[in-house]
Amino acid sequence: MFNKEKFLALCNEWSKNTLMETLEIEYIDAGEDFLKAKMPVNSRVHQPMGLLHGGATVALAESVGSAASLMFINPEKQEVRGIEISANHLRSKREGTVYCTAKIIHKGASIHLWEIRIVDENDKLISLCKLSNMVLSRRER
């Protein structure tokens, strides 16, 4: 059975000392087919014009979509790799918070396909992304 609190704690713990920590991404909600996180929009994630950088937006989407695939694998025997991501940036954002929700579209044995919506505090769509993850057997390190 899916344990939301345990899964969120795992995602937030694994983010320490990574790009996710640098971008201040925090995982805040999860369900059987989705994962949600938030990220502050400030100078840390701005491009030179003072707007949310598309690369930071894509990093948020890939982080959440990749972490979401962990729900469907055995992390002791398998690992996930993002193999393709696309993003449509529809609205700009200067400050505040964005919320990112990854929902599973296809859950295969070796490929997971995620739709990832990034919205502002008023639920206005900022970016719409699609992420494909490959599920691999874990190798000895």
Q: Which residues are catalytic?
A: 62
- As to burial, measured by CB atoms within 10 angstroms (0-12 exposed, 13-18 middle, 19+ buried), residue 46 is middle
Interacting residues of 123 by C-beta distance below 8 A, sequence separation 6+: none
Q: Is the dihedral of CA 89, 91, 93, 99 positive or negative?
A: negative
Question: Contact, 131 vs 61, CB < 8 A?
Answer: yes
CB atoms within 10 A of CB 47: 12
Question: Contact, 102 vs 25, CB < 8 A?
Answer: no
Q: Write down the residue that tokens 């609190």 correspond to.
A: 5
